[in-house]
Chains A and B, each alone.
Chain A
């Protein structure tokens, strides 16, 4: 675990980085891969990477995060959710790095606005019209910048001036479980639609058409790996995952979500083969969830969460966290994990190191940010 002290010590390195000669944008191909996986819906960082060493953890989350009991202990402080079994192996192989108590500059609790900030790289929602990932493409040599979205359209983070393609398996998935549930709630009070809808859902269940939380994580990972392979193939990809908004029944849903994510990443690793060693995967969400469970065995919208760097290129095997603590006084507004690391700095820092970009890349990726990219070693 990297403590606040380490963090402060590392700031000297930032100065050193800035004093290095600025590198030209056009440079030799690196054959590097970069995948951004967005977790839409606000993933609960406290369940994903439990701060089981925090003295308040027991009182806040005992009986709620039971699953952590069988998770991999990454160090004396943090325990990884057991559904992330393959990810834990990557950590052991120093190919996974976690950054906790991390958040974008967005400090409210709307998914839309939060995702917009996360994807555009702005400081507030709907200010920038293109995405940071698209702007990153402009900083890369042409052969490294061929990008696509594993989606039927191009998500906000990849939208912009630089050419991007998108791909989705031809058979589009049916409505997600989450959407079905929300439609049920929406029709609850409508005398006509309520009955019709319940019947429709019951029929679907019987027919077995409902995909439980999208069990196609492995397939998505395999497809992405295939599209990122080959001499003239894509080098940058974005994968969208939904369903992280666990207001109720979090234990089961998060288990499924994380297993799915674990399979995606694992399939990506398998599919990329030798190229995995040149690969950086960033997994991030728009914000975290409340430190305390709510009344429906779930959690509500919060602030800081956890982000992951995965891949053979990652200087892994560590957790980076300037841990804010879980006491009532330490929590943001008395309820949420307080952000202590700037997600923008992480997102700017990892590709900067991955591609050997100049420290000024931060200004292109996050033009409204006054921060600097993380400079501690993220990439091996």
Chain B
């Protein structure tokens, strides 16, 4: 690949037929820092946080009511006029309705994400959004996360894309999607006001949840096996108690959280474990929310975090086994700048290792889908079809199944059936594009200077325009970047 093609296809999301290969590829990439739109047109209509939270609260309330009814207990505040048997019958259809409403939010957000990626003139910036969304992965396997996952990306990641890593980190960890996904919203300090109250009631043991604390250290900042201990995780979890979300907490805790019901981050003193904490040898005497915030900022400043983030960035652009000199340079830039993301991206763009001619990465299903849609110019995917396509290709959006996110190596994606799925989808996309697209001309435009004679010939010999287009989309140079 020549440098303009690398800029378009490896750094960007794939060339569109109308794209002019940039004369100065590096300037084209750095120019996107200021051109990037945090909320582009494609994202203007996504469901609001208040709508999502209200649905979730309704759902939780309905679920709680069903549980109470099942226990044959008469709740003190049962809505008037509804005999118990009736409410039991009505509960399920209402929950099904709410479940579908939440699912519709997800579909709308997924298709907006796709539309934004397909339509963008700043594909390097959009790629970085997807990179960080995967670094700070949540997964919609959990019902409360279904409607919130997209909001994490739109509200926490996009506005901080060209800021500093500590700010990005803080925005993510305080977002309701993350607080709910990693169970932080219901973590209670054993010696907090609520914890002591709960301890007095036999059989109602509720307390500390270490999930978020552990994943912040292992996945979001330091990286696994970088010197922190179980005791550090537990202490961090204690420091994080009280970090929760207004409007969606259940049961007794809800009363202590207070605040509105808008799903905003809320520090609930009544849940917070009092006292100083010691994490990785450092004491944190702060009170309240400031305590965990101070820990987060220290974690963000750690050399281990710098290396962890740098390694992942280098892997994303320079190959599955990122070259050590490049990782070293990125790490140094991170530490020198205090995690200034612009400086980090600039170092990345200036790394010769990311500009080697041969393809360095096998596209993930998401990357392949976006590049294929950009190539054929299809900007209006039906929400159901878009979600179904990504699911069929093996990468349903915001559903990696674990907080570790999707793998960023070829071995996870280049598999027999996965290839067959791409061929199937390519055929459908090509069939949808119809015979009006000339794949021969398109191939030269979307793979400028990198189209191989073999692929060129295969496309030219295809028996129909649609078949030619399908072959272009599954060609060795198109499935890689």
Distance in angstroms from A98 CB to nearest chain B CB is: 23
**Residue A330 at the chain B interface, CB threshold 8 Å:** no
Closest residue of chain A to B470, judged by CB?
A179
**A178 and B467 in contact, given A152-B431, A155-B434, A196-B416 (Cβ under 8 angstroms):** yes
**Residue A243 at the chain B interface, CB threshold 8 Å:** yes
One of A115, A176, A186 near B465 (C-beta < 8 A): A115
**A179 and B420 in contact, given A112-B439, A155-B435, A244-B463 (Cβ under 8 angstroms):** no
**A197 and B419 in contact, given A154-B434, A178-B467, A190-B476 (Cβ under 8 angstroms):** yes
**Residue A159 at the chain B interface, CB threshold 8 Å:** yes
A183 to B424, CA, bound (A): 11
Pair A111/B424 contact, Cβ less than 8 Å? no
Contacts of A242 in B (CB 8 A): 463-464, 467
Return the CB mask of B435-468 against A: 1 if under 8 Å, else 0: 1101110000000000000110010111111011
Contacts of B471 in A (CB 8 A): 179, 182-183, 186
**Among A156, A178, A183, residue most surrounded by chain B Cβ atoms (within 10 Å):** A183
Some 29 contacts from A to B, beta carbons below 8 A apart, are: A40-B463, A40-B464, A41-B463, A41-B464, A42-B463, A110-B460, A111-B465, A112-B439, A153-B431, A153-B432, A153-B434, A156-B434, A174-B424, A175-B427, A176-B427, A176-B467, A179-B467, A182-B461, A182-B471, A185-B458, A186-B454, A187-B476, A189-B454, A192-B410, A192-B414, A193-B479, A196-B416, A242-B467, A244-B463
Contacts of A176 in B (CB 8 A): 427, 467
**Residue A203 at the chain B interface, CB threshold 8 Å:** yes
Closest residue of chain A to B469, judged by CB?
A112
Return the CB mask of A96-121 against B: 1 if under 8 Å, else 0: 00000000000000111001100100
Pair B463/A175 contact, Cβ less than 8 Å? no
Number of interface residues of A (CB under 8 A): 44
Pair B416/A199 contact, Cβ less than 8 Å? yes
Contacts of A182 in B (CB 8 A): 458, 461-462, 467, 471
Pair B463/A159 contact, Cβ less than 8 Å? no
Distance in angstroms from B194 CB to nearest chain A CB is: 53
Pair B439/A186 contact, Cβ less than 8 Å? no
Closest residue of chain A to B467, judged by CB?
A179
Distance in angstroms from A292 CB to nearest chain B CB is: 19
Distance in angstroms from B462 CB to nearest chain A CB is: 7
**Residue A204 at the chain B interface, CB threshold 8 Å:** yes
Distance in angstroms from B458 CB to nearest chain A CB is: 5
**Residue B27 at the chain A interface, CB threshold 8 Å:** no
Pair B458/A115 contact, Cβ less than 8 Å? no
**Among A112, A151, A159, A199, residue most surrounded by chain B Cβ atoms (within 10 Å):** A112
Contacts of A156 in B (CB 8 A): 434-436
A128 to B185, CA, bound (A): 62
A196 to B417, CA, bound (A): 8
Pair A200/B438 contact, Cβ less than 8 Å? no
Closest residue of chain A to B425, judged by CB?
A175
One of B419, B439, B460, B467 near A193 (C-beta < 8 A): B419
Distance in angstroms from A191 CB to nearest chain B CB is: 10
One of A42, A116, A183, A203 near B416 (C-beta < 8 A): A203
Label chain B's interface by main secondary structure.
helix
A176 to B431, CA, bound (A): 12
Contacts of A185 in B (CB 8 A): 458
**Residue B428 at the chain A interface, CB threshold 8 Å:** yes
Q: For residues 385 through 433 of chain B, which have their beta carbon under 8 Å from a beta carbon of chain A? A: 410, 414-417, 419-420, 423-424, 427-428, 431-433
Contacts of B468 in A (CB 8 A): 111-112
Contacts of B440 in A (CB 8 A): 112
**Residue B474 at the chain A interface, CB threshold 8 Å:** yes
Distance in angstroms from B143 CB to nearest chain A CB is: 29
Contacts of A175 in B (CB 8 A): 420, 423-424, 427, 470
**Residue B278 at the chain A interface, CB threshold 8 Å:** no
Pair A186/B474 contact, Cβ less than 8 Å? yes
Pair A183/B423 contact, Cβ less than 8 Å? yes
Pair B464/A111 contact, Cβ less than 8 Å? yes
Contacts of A192 in B (CB 8 A): 362, 410, 414
**Residue B475 at the chain A interface, CB threshold 8 Å:** yes
A116 to B21, CA, bound (A): 28
**A243 and B427 in contact, given A152-B432, A200-B417 (Cβ under 8 angstroms):** no
A201 to B417, CA, bound (A): 9
A318 to B419, CA, bound (A): 49
The 10 A-B pairs with the shortest beta carbon distances in the complex, nearest first, are A41-B463, A245-B463, A200-B416, A199-B416, A200-B420, A40-B464, A156-B435, A190-B476, A153-B434, A112-B465
Contacts of B463 in A (CB 8 A): 40-42, 111, 178, 242-245
